[in-house]
Structure 1
Amino acid sequence: MEIHQLKTFMTVAREGSISRAAETLCLSQPAVSAHIKAIEDTFGLILFERTPRGMSLTREGEQLLRKTEQTLGAHQDLLTEAARLKGRLNGKLHIGNSSTASTEALGRLMIALSERCPEVELVVQHGNTAELLKGIRNGSLDAGFYNDSHLPDEDISSLEVGRFSIFLAAPPGLVDTSEPVDWQALAQLPWICPTVQSCCKQAADHLFEAHNIRPQRIISIDREAVTRTLIGGGVGVGLLHADSAREAQLRGEIEIICEAQKHVRVLFAHTRKRVHDPLLMMARSILQTEHG
């Protein structure tokens, strides 16, 4: 029985599905099934019940999962201690980056790591905030950058690495920006808003509540670049991060109606149980120094 088979067992238990575990581990489904069978054959135990809804741990499986987590934790501690004794950090760091988060902090981290820890390999994966938090929790990601969207994060340790504001923007000439904002008139226009929980969705919801409006039509777009293109194309009004809004304004693509949210925090986060991980401690140190 190998360490990678134990990692597969833990991932299937967390995901509750062979297919989702295969996707998380970047393995084929037959390979994942073979790992589980090898462990069951070794122990002479049935670890999962195969149901129409997926993989459900048996009582024996639940007991062995706790021991597996301890074993894998001890294995990681062993690797960490060996790296410390050698006097340098090495290994692979899987970092998630939200598609709407600022890339500045990620860039700073990549440059500093390449200079200070050349033997550390940095692997970047993109996704939305919910996807990144899931990856951080299930172990497929070591840490991630995302915009604070106030999702439940009791088990997450985060560090603020940047801030930005959000603006409500319109196509040139569609709204008279020299006059006070007519919110009832804006409600008659199409709004381009994210559907997933995000900083721009929160900003939009706040505007709707604060001004007691509900747009007659909402176009659901989860990518800021697409939102910017649609606003510039005259489709409707929408929300843009400050840098994108100002660039688009300078290019004459959009006009800014108002500031929708003054401060949105960009966070670097990982699980609290990994707060003493040497690679993550180094990453936090770099980001604190650069941001501070």
Structure 2
Amino acid sequence: MQLRHLSTFAAVADTLNFTRAAERVHLSQSSVTEQIQSLEAELGARLFDRSRRRLSLTPAGQRLQAFAAELLKLAGEARAAVAEASDTVAGSLVIGGLETLCAVRLPELIAEFHRRHAAVELTLKTADSGSLRRGIRNGDLDAGFFFGEAPEETDVRSEALAEEQLLIILPPNHRLAGRTEVGPEDLANDAFLVTQPGCIYRRMFDEAFAILPKRPKPMGEFASLGLIRGLVEAGLGCALVPRSALAKHPGHVVAIPWSGRRRTAPVTMMWRHRRVYAPALAAFLATARECL
């Protein structure tokens, strides 16, 4: 049983889609199909049910999925142990982060890590918080950065590295533009611009106004903080954002510190737990703790 076949099987089992699995393992779709067929022939069992419109695991495939995850984890730990013994910090890392963090907080970290460990090839990807957590769980990402506390998960570790101040951004002519801070009661009747449910920024809004019997009604849901900032500038409403959302492009908005129950949001680093960490990942985690 070849590890590359197991890796391909794990990608297909996780995505239940040959095209997305091929993208994950950097193979053509035909190569993915061939590897799955080879694995099925070797095991003498069908691993996927292809008879329906949606691909699904057979009972045999469900059994193999757990073993494949463990075998691939052990293989990764074996490689890490060998690399650790050689005392070489090299290889490649894929790091993920929210777009705001990738633009403001992570560049300094990436630059400092490269200065210390130039032999490590780094890839930085932006994604929403849900995608970051999934990427860490399935091995697509070595580490991820987002706002908020991480839920407890098996085989995943997280650590809050910094606190980011929360701000209310208002149009320049807003009645509260001269205030030094504002709280939930001050904005109970204002229109708010929010991101979609499930997004960490939407969760910040929901939690910030949870103490009110009736929270402000969002006037619309938007895809990015950049768009929300522009709409606030245009006078369409208010928004609750972390300070780094204004760091590169403050625009013509009024930013006032939030005085609600929680005035900051943690900047959290998450990674997949291993018995032995590859030297490159161990060095990156240590550098992040210093720089953030």
- 2:201 aligns with 200
TM-score, normalised with respect to structure 2: 0.84
- 2:222 aligns with 221
Q: Is the contact between residue 16 and residue 56 of structure 1 (CA under 8 Å) also seen in structure 2?
A: yes
Q: Map of 1:177-196 to 2, 5 A cutoff?
A: 177-178=177-178, 186-196=187-197
Task: Give % identity.
Answer: 25
Q: Secondary structure at the match of 1:144?
A: strand
Cα distance, 1:129–1:21 mapped onto 2, change above 3 Å: same
* Matching residue's letter, 2:264: H
Q: Quote how far apart the aligned CAs of 1:186 are.
A: 4.2
Q: Is the contact between residue 13 and residue 55 of structure 1 (CA under 8 Å) also seen in structure 2?
A: no
* Matching residue's letter, 1:82: V
Q: Map of 1:144-155 to 2, 5 A cutoff?
A: 144-151=144-151, 153-155=153-155
Aligned partners of 1:172, 1:10: CA distance in 2, in Å? 52
Cα distance per residue 1:232-278 (max 9 Å; x no partner):
111111122224457777x6433537445412111111123366343
Q: Confirm or deny that 1:101 pairs with 2:134.
A: no
Aligned partners of 1:162, 1:280: CA distance in 2, in Å? 20
TM-score, normalised with respect to structure 1: 0.84
Q: Is the contact between residue 194 and residue 218 of structure 2 (CA under 8 Å) also seen in structure 1?
A: no
Cα distance, 1:53–1:152 mapped onto 2, change above 3 Å: farther
Q: Confirm or deny that 1:231 pairs with 2:236.
A: no
* Matching residue's letter, 1:14: D
- 1:72 aligns with 72
Aligned partners of 1:78, 1:155: CA distance in 2, in Å? 17
CA RMSD of aligned residues (A): 3.0
Q: Secondary structure at the match of 2:168?
A: strand
Q: Map of 1:258-269 to 2, 5 A cutoff?
A: 258-260=258-260, 261-269=262-270
Deviates more, 1:136-145 or 1:60-69: 60-69
Structure with higher strand content: 1
Cα distance, 1:214–1:93 mapped onto 2, change above 3 Å: same
Cα distance, 1:81–1:187 mapped onto 2, change above 3 Å: closer
Gaps of 5+ in 2: none
Cα distance, 1:186–1:66 mapped onto 2, change above 3 Å: closer
- 2:167 aligns with 167
Aligned partners of 1:14, 1:252: CA distance in 2, in Å? 45
Q: Secondary structure at the match of 1:162?
A: strand
* Matching residue's letter, 2:16: G
- 1:40 aligns with 40
Q: Secondary structure at the match of 1:209?
A: coil
- 2:19 aligns with 19
Aligned partners of 2:258, 2:73: CA distance in 1, in Å? 50
Cα distance per residue 1:43-70 (max 9 Å; x no partner):
3321222253633333333343344334
Q: Is the contact between residue 170 and residue 257 of structure 1 (CA under 8 Å) also seen in structure 2?
A: no
Q: Secondary structure at the match of 1:236?
A: coil
Deviates more, 1:17-26 or 1:264-273: 17-26
Q: Is the contact between residue 159 and residue 269 of structure 1 (CA under 8 Å) also seen in structure 2?
A: yes
* Larger relative contact order (CA 8 Å, sep ≥ 6): 2
Cα distance per residue 1:123-153 (max 9 Å; x no partner):
1111000010011111111111111155454
Aligned partners of 1:246, 1:44: CA distance in 2, in Å? 58
Q: Secondary structure at the match of 1:175?
A: coil
Q: Is the contact between residue 184 and residue 213 of structure 1 (CA under 8 Å) also seen in structure 2?
A: no
Q: Quote how far apart the aligned CAs of 1:104 are.
A: 5.1
Deviates more, 1:25-34 or 1:231-240: 25-34
Aligned partners of 1:149, 1:51: CA distance in 2, in Å? 42
Aligned partners of 1:66, 1:248: CA distance in 2, in Å? 46
Cα distance, 1:96–1:30 mapped onto 2, change above 3 Å: same
- 1:283 aligns with 284
- 1:137 aligns with 137
